[in-house]
Amino acid sequence: MHLSARTLNLSLAATAVVLIAFLLLFGDVPMPLRLWIDAVTRPESLPGQIVWDIRLPRNITAFLVGAMLGMSGALMQGLLRNPLAEPGILGVSSGAGLGAALAIVVGLGLTPFAVEGFALAGAVIIAAVLLLFTARFPQRQSLILLGVGLTALCGALMALVFNLSPSPVTTAEILGWTMGSVENRTWEDAGLCIIGLGLASLLSWKLGRGLRFLTLGDETARSMGINMARLGQVIILAAGILSGLAVAVSGVIGFVGLAAPHFVRAMGVKDPFRLIWPSALAGGVMVLIADGLVRLVPASGDIRLGVLTSLIGAPLFAVIAWKSARSWMQD
């Protein structure tokens, strides 16, 4: 199947709207028709609060978190020209997770926006290190190696935080955060996601020429006047904002940034710049579907959103790696 970017955008947007509306029907509190009438006619009533203040913000936040991860994945794959690239490859997601864990372990878990603020600060610190590194060494291979090192360092520090956790309750709270969830999210969380998407969109607005020439190779891109260091810095900053805010709002949700761009390519969109927004919409739809499964499947009552996306995404990662290895052997 081959669709234009415009057609795919419209189709994915319509699918997202349908899913957001459909998932309003499901939650912990059963709502017969009488209560739905109350919710629509009297938004200040208890059924109205359940629908408009609990379920709808959760659905919108799920879509926006997925959109941030999908856009971040498209940007990273475009910069690194690696089909296995995803938001966590440069360590920004790990930095955000570490920041959230530190906030919880020092007792700020119940302070409004403290965990989110620490998570965003962790993402910003890692992104700053990457930006400084890229200014000196713009080569993609060096960037990937640094990302792997930063991810390993954040993982080791996260293990240390677990080890120093003052109580089993705190440990469980940190573990729950690392599993990812959009449960009990508010309109303020959705607003943070909108700000992140807006900033990243502004940053990536004029990336089209650079990303397209980059597909022809670094030397060709430079000969066409592309500033490779600047291009890398803009993409890292945009991807850092997206993945950092996504982790700050929902915890760690893996593999969406990997899968969304591949789905869009399978639909026929190959241009690395035109891939960005369809990937965002596809990521949003994927997280909505996963969150719907968490709510709808009886056996998944204790399964967190991030666990479910990893269970689905890990086999996909293996398939992509296998196909990439075959193509490299043929080359």
DSSP string of 115-147, one letter each residue = HHHHHHHHHHHHHHHHHHHHHH---HHHHHHHH
Assess if residue 26 is contained within a domain: no
Question: DSSP code of 252?
Answer: -
Inside any domain, residue 135: yes
CA gap 95, 313 in Å, rounded: 21
Q: Determine the Cα–Cα distance for residues 146 and 28; give it in Å rounded to an integer.
A: 44
The pLDDT, as a whole number, for residue 238 is: 92
Residue 79 included in any domain: yes
The total number of structural domains in the chain stands at 1
The CB density around residue 17, as the number of other CB atoms within 10 Å, is 11
Distances (CA, A) of 205 to 62, 74, 210, 292: 24, 14, 11, 32
Task: Let me know: does 124 contact 113? Beta carbons within 8 Å.
Answer: no
pLDDT value at position 87? Answer: 77
pTM higher than the cut 0.75: yes
Burial class (CB in 10 A: 0-12, 13-18, 19+), 30: exposed
Longest alpha-carbon distance in the chain: 67
pLDDT in tens, the chain (331 residues): 677 888 999 999 999 999 999 999 888 788 888 888 888 888 888 888 999 999 999 999 999 999 999 999 999 999 888 777 787 788 888 898 899 889 988 888 778 778 888 888 898 899 889 888 887 877 777 888 888 899 999 999 998 988 888 888 888 888 888 888 898 899 999 999 999 999 999 998 888 888 888 888 778 888 888 888 888 889 988 988 998 899 989 988 988 998 899 899 988 898 999 999 999 999 999 999 999 988 887 654 567 888 888 887 777 777 776 776 666 555 5
- How far is C-alpha 98 from the chain's CA centre? 16
Contacts 24+ apart (CB under 8 A), 20-29: 20/56, 20/59, 20/60, 20/63, 20/288, 22/292, 23/55, 23/59, 23/288, 23/291, 23/292, 23/295, 24/51, 24/55, 24/56, 24/59, 26/292, 26/295, 26/296, 27/54, 27/55, 27/295
Q: 246: domain CATH number?
A: 1.10.3470.10
143 inside domain: yes
User: In one letter, which amino acid is 307?
Assistant: V
The pLDDT value recorded for residue 153 is 94
Please report the pLDDT score of residue 268 as a whole number: 87
Domain that holds residue 199: 5-17+54-330
Please state, in angstroms and rounded to a whole number, the distance separating the CA atoms of residues 293 and 313: 15
Q: Is residue 46 part of a domain?
A: no
Total Cβ atoms within 10 A of residue 312: 17
Q: Is residue 47 part of a domain?
A: no
Residues 90-123, buried b or exposed e (16+ Cβ, 10 A)?
bbbbbbbbbbbbbbbbeebbeeeebbbbbbbbbb
Which of 85, 77, 66, 92 minimizes the C-alpha distance to 12? Answer: 66
At 216 the three-state DSSP class reads coil
For residue 36, is it within any domain?
no
Residue 34 lies in a domain: no
* Residue 233 neighbours by CB under 8 Å, 6+ apart: 131, 134, 135
